[in-house]
Chains A and B, each alone.
Chain A
Amino acid sequence: MNFSVALQILISGLNLGCIYAALGLGFFVVYSVTRVFNLAQGEFVMLGGMLTASFYTMGIPLIPSILLAVIITALAGAGLYRFIMYPARKSSGVTKVFLTVGFALAIEGIALRVWGWEFRSLPAFFNSPSIQLWEATIFGQTPWVIGVTLLMVIGLFFFFGRTIQGKALRACADEPLGARMMGISIERMALFSFILAAGLGAVVGALITPLTMTSYSVGWPLTIKGVLAAFVGGITRAEGVILGGLVFGMIEAITAGLIPGGYHNAIAPGILILVLLFRRHGLLVTAGRE
């Protein structure tokens, strides 16, 4: 393998890794507050991408299009919690997961009805041109994906670590009973976590559309990849989720680069399943800390 191919694989891996890390963070936000595994997260990404593309096509500038998409998707997240998860808050964990699946299917059906089968795309943000680095090509959208993901990660770390509302959210995940006694409304925090996760998902959707295009059906594959990234790193720690995303992205890019023919879609998850067999709580989480 020559240097330029290695560099191309590294850039692709970083790009994919950031996308999967950002996807995983959406799972992390909901799981860390509610202990619910939200399998509708990929649909938030789909909604973000489709709405942004639609608004942009209607002539609305890019940033307002993304903002509108984020607001509408966040409202969908609020709806998922308020009308489905909240009434079922005393149900078992498995029931809640299936409820998120039902919501995801409903969103997918509505998206098919509204937008049809066609794929939609966006130009690279602000028509950023591709960059040639040695013989490797960096697509114009890639720096946006990496930069915005980095900003989201820093923002989340800051919010959860340094603000009183972020601490209250962490408290709900750690000791719900203790949190209630501190005057924290678990339900309000859970609602916020769904809104935040949906908003993050929408941003990811807008970010990846120039690279991958989007359609009503992209939600499920993204959900599966986000789930794998979150589990590989350790769903209970944000650092774990980011690491999991980066590892998954790198493995996928390396296998895609070395083994042509689309086998990477099977090889990368296969390797991750092997990782989970030996580190079942994730790369960064030990059994005692789970």
Chain B
Amino acid sequence: MKVNFVRMKSAVMPKQERERDTLHTPLLKVRNVSMAFGVLAVLKRVSFSVPRGNILVMIGPNGAGKTTLLKLISGLLPLQEGEIWFKQQRLSRIAPHRISSLGITQLFQDIQLFSNMSVIENVMVGCHLRAKTGFMRSGLRLPSARADEQSIFEVAMSKLSLVGLEQKALANPSSLSWGQQKLVGLARALATGAELLLLDEPYSGLLTDEVDKLNKLIFELQRQGITILIVEHLTDILMGIANQVIVLDYGEKIAEGTPAEIQQNKQVIDAYLGGGSLESERG
């Protein structure tokens, strides 16, 4: 019913009103999402919403269900119970590549770069959604296809410049450091034109200066209007960049708020830090 209502509304509302409505509606809404692998419940009625342009950080111990939730949003796992809405569209039974074309892209913990391609080719594949030419025109190398390829190359180079790796365009990803590979993965994800980036432990394995660089980049992306959902373990890094923090424990959302609120939340300190404090963990 909800789907019909939203479609009907968008069909009859004047354009300006519709745009205002979009601005005030959260970009992503997760409602009562539950998930179980056999008898093991990994998510229990989790709900939250992410306003457009926010940086939401999701923390929780191992096995809390964070990565599972990301996979449900990106369509890599089928939704068993609950609802996920993106830009007022319900994401249900939609293939991952279609979800990507709607504007959601996930950067995996293990990056999954294409090892048989150069860095620039990896990012160009990210531009696949922008390609206007199909197999036939592409294969026949018609002028429109050549113009399309050139424009894709330029977009890919601009994304590489954004992450500071334009000098490595022709290198093979395997010749780059782990941190640089993560940046290539990020450039590739940005090349899809994503409005919502799902980053699964983007800081893992990074050196201190790489962490600073990634933080600056995330702020820049936020400035450009991209909404970012980060799953991480390293709470001290995240408290500085998050607008909104969600804490999961054994598949349940136990807290939600600003970083300052989360730092003072007794339930979070008990469940996530075992009675310590977020300050002491930093040390």
| Residues in A lying within 8 Å of B, measured CB to CB | 155, 158-159, 162-168, 170-171, 173-175, 177-186, 192
Question: Is B125 a contact partner of A159 (Cβ separation < 8 A)?
Answer: no
Question: Is A183 a contact partner of B128 (Cβ separation < 8 A)?
Answer: yes
Asked if B252 is at the interface (CB within 8 A of a chain A CB), the reply is: no
Question: Is B128 a contact partner of A170 (Cβ separation < 8 A)?
Answer: no
| Residues in B lying within 8 Å of A, measured CB to CB | 74, 76, 95-98, 100-101, 105-106, 108, 111-117, 121, 124-129, 131, 133-135, 138-139, 141, 145, 148-149, 152, 188-189, 191-192
Contact count A vs B, C-beta below 8 Å: 98
Question: Is B125 a contact partner of A167 (Cβ separation < 8 A)?
Answer: yes
Question: Is A183 a contact partner of B145 (Cβ separation < 8 A)?
Answer: no
Residues of A with C-beta under 8 A to B106: 181
Which 7 pairs of residues, A with B, have the shortest CB-CB distance? A178-B112, A183-B100, A183-B129, A163-B138, A180-B96, A165-B138, A175-B112
Residues of B with C-beta under 8 A to A179: 114, 125
The chain B residue with its CB closest to the CB of A176 is B112
Residues of A with C-beta under 8 A to B189: 181
Given contacts A164-B148, A171-B114, A174-B116, contact A182 B139 (CB under 8 A): no
Show 7 A/B contacts (Cβ-Cβ < 8 Å), sorted by A: A167-B125, A174-B114, A175-B114, A179-B114, A182-B125, A183-B98, A186-B97
Which of B114, B141, B148 interacts with A170 by CB under 8 Å? B114
Given contacts A159-B139, A183-B100, A192-B135, contact A164 B128 (CB under 8 A): yes
A183 to B125, CA, bound (A): 9
Question: Is A184 a contact partner of B74 (Cβ separation < 8 A)?
Answer: no
The chain A residue with its CB closest to the CB of B105 is A181
Question: Is B100 a contact partner of A182 (Cβ separation < 8 A)?
Answer: yes
Q: In the complex, what's the smallest C-beta–C-beta distance from B283 to chain A, in angstroms?
A: 37
A252 to B115, CA, bound (A): 36
Question: Is A185 a contact partner of B113 (Cβ separation < 8 A)?
Answer: no
A-B contacts besides A159-B139, A182-B100, 6 pairs, CB < 8 Å: A164-B133, A167-B128, A181-B96, A182-B105, A186-B97, A192-B135
Given contacts A163-B139, A163-B149, contact A185 B134 (CB under 8 A): no
